[in-house]
Amino acid sequence: MDETKLKELGLDSLSEEDKANLEGLNDSQLKLIAKEHSLKKQAFKERDERKTAEQTAAAKLKEIEDARKADELEKALKNGEAEKLVGTLTTEKEALTNQVKELAGYKEKLNAVEAERKDELLEKLEDVHKEFAKDLPLEQLTKYVKLNGKGVEGKPFNPNRGGKMKFDYQNMKFDQFTTEQLVDLEKNDNPFYLKILKEKYPNRR
């Protein structure tokens, strides 16, 4: 993937593995991923700013408590400093409340973008794959579509193997199967089951 294009889309900070997963995607798909990435960055920024503001407010509250313990609160009251500080803390508390509301809004938008992205990826799969893949997290679904999407060339699929799983599972790993599917594999495609079991537990005998 061209680094210049990634920079224009704001995706140049992605890991090398994530960049590799972008290969072959069209401009519309890249823009959708860029939007998702931007929302995540904004959510993290809001979280960090909220945490910093909370720490600052806590530190100022501690200053008030320390002043009280040192019998300096009366002096602060006379000078009007305590009232000023209370007013400042009240304003900051209101600002924090607004930030929490904004963050909830970003999360809702992010969930909507991820749902849209998953629907788009599922459309690239044959019906026999969709039932298995529909509940996968977005990252795993992206990799699954890359291996099993429409038009992907791979090992010939033998429908007489794999029991109830009538899809090409030859490129899948142990953790991608449900318990029921693993039991089915052990019974109907034992060589493949032993292969992924050994990959999962290389020291097991």
Query: What's the Cα-to-Cα distance from 142 to each of 56, 63, 171, 186, 192, rounded to whole Å?
Result: 41, 51, 14, 27, 23
Do 183 and 116 belong together in one domain? Answer: no
Q: What is the pLDDT along the chain (205 residues), one digit of tens a residue?
A: 577 877 887 878 877 887 777 777 787 887 887 888 788 888 888 888 888 888 888 888 888 777 777 766 566 556 666 667 677 778 888 888 888 877 777 788 888 888 888 898 888 888 877 877 888 888 888 888 887 777 654 433 343 444 556 667 788 888 888 888 888 888 888 888 888 988 988 876 6
- Residue that terminates a domain, selected from 91, 122, 153: 122
Do 83 and 28 belong together in one domain? Answer: yes
Query: What's the Cα-to-Cα distance from 173 to each of 133, 179, 193, 198, rounded to whole Å?
Result: 14, 13, 10, 11
Do 165 and 188 belong together in one domain? Answer: yes
Structural domain contains residue 6? no
pTM of the model: 0.32
Structural domain contains residue 5? no
Do 160 and 93 belong together in one domain? Answer: no
Do 105 and 178 belong together in one domain? Answer: no
The count of structural domains within the chain is 2
- Residue that terminates a domain, selected from 83, 106, 122: 122
Q: CA angle at residue 78 from 75 to 79, to 5 degrees? A: 90
Domain interval for residue 41: 16-122
Do 139 and 188 belong together in one domain? Answer: yes
Query: In which element (H, E) is residue 145 found?
Result: helix 138-148
Structural domain contains residue 108? yes
Q: Residue holding tokens 């999360």?
A: 107
